[in-house]
Structure 1
């Protein structure tokens, strides 16, 4: 009795394990919307299109920064071979005085006197008696170690419409990326619907082929009995068997096509290719809804390909403005702070010292062999042609 109970317990455990395994391997019934959702979630091209949209949004934000001022910093260190000497030798400066008229003059006691007691003159000039020494080292600047630090601010004021055109192109590029993403989404939905309804069609064809083979099998059996009784001929039996073989070939083709279609749908939905899923339309007959008629103009207006072509045309129009802006003047406000060592702002010093500056820069092309205009004219000619 105990052995019987143990056997029943083991059998129950095996049944539970088998049910659990079958339940884990079985797939639920998928509708068309479920397949579309899985295909959208697992399509790699659609994910790439999403990243392209994010990149275009980042480029649009980056293009807007061209309106804002830019701040740059620069640091330079140079090791020079020689120092700067303003004097080749020590200088001797005559000692005199400033007269009442503000001119530099010599007093009699500041002039060299000859043996005759009169001031000595050389080339018509009096010779001073005393000199002030200006040593060479005092006029030497040690620039062997040179350091420069600059911080600058640039605010564009007018760039010939270039910045505005860049921002417009960035906005159009964002719309173009979204249009391409919409086109890729429609392609994913289209391929999913084709694979889905292909399976539904093959399932119904399989039912018809199985019914046809079943009918022919019964018919072959009846014809063989008729041949046995002498009612039918051998040719009748062979003719019916040929039809049965043709039906079995059609049945095999449908089975193979159904397997391949299921693998294709699994690939589109991101499922393992050996997974067998049941579709909602396989289990019940569905009526085909009539699609309302619609004009081709409205169909074309909703196509993302047409919108992409229009956006591409607008982008090239903005590029024409960028080419034309090369022939227009540009105006920018600049502000800088420059510091260096050695510095010369208050004598010669080895400390960092600097100054700030503010200015407005204007740049206007005068003659470049017609390069900007020629480019603009060629692009206009290509567009109008």
Structure 2
């Protein structure tokens, strides 16, 4: 009985100490690093930057020729086009066949559309990069403000506990 009582008291003591041991103190740099890695605005800005870089690559490919090919075949038991020329004579066309085609297009001059599209895509990449930097700076600033606000509040709590101790000493 006495042994279980000691174990029970030991477990209660450990349970009381565990929350104090589980707390971790973060530095300002750790807070900023965590905020940058977990912020949704930063992730969206990275996605926008990646998308604008893909658009720039797509715009660059407009300088190159494009090729397209198509083909088809058909078989029928009767001709698709039949004509009677004279009595007793009949012409049948398109009974069996294969159709195919290849097209190559070289962009020689399109009114500056390709050049302007490439310039705009480069500008879009730069805008996305600047927006990402702006989002990163805003997250850093907000994190620093919250960090120093917490530090200030903790110092105010220390001041309040000192004042409370002085009041208790003055009352006694």
Structure 2 length as normaliser, TM-score?
0.79
1:207 Cα deviation (Å)?
1.5
Separation in 1, partners of 2:51, 2:68: 26
Separation in 2, partners of 1:155, 1:58: 22
- Aligned equivalent of 1:178: 129
Supply the RMSD in Å over aligned alpha carbons: 3.3
User: 1:289-313: CA deviations, max 9, x gaps?
Assistant: xxxxxxxxxxxxxxxxxxxxxxxxx
* Aligned counterparts, 1:195-344, within 5 A: 195-219=146-170, 221=171
Equivalent of 2:141 in 190, 193, 198: 190
Instruction: Judging by fraction of residues, say which structure has more helix.
Output: 2
- Aligned equivalent of 2:116: 165
Alignment of 1:89 onto 2:89: no
1:216 Cα deviation (Å)?
3.1
Higher RCO (CA < 8 A, seq sep 6+): 2
Equivalent pairs counted in the alignment come to 165
Separation in 2, partners of 1:176, 1:197: 31
* Aligned counterparts, 1:99-138, within 5 A: 136-137=89-90
1:30 partner SS: coil
Separation in 2, partners of 1:23, 1:217: 28
- Tell me: CA distance 1:83–1:209, structure 2 relative to 1, closer, same or farther (3 Å): same
1:81 Cα deviation (Å)?
8.8
Q: What 5-or-longer segments of structure 2 have no aligned partner?
A: none
1:160 Cα deviation (Å)?
1.4
Separation in 1, partners of 2:94, 2:71: 16
Larger radius of gyration: 1
Structure 1 length as normaliser, TM-score?
0.38
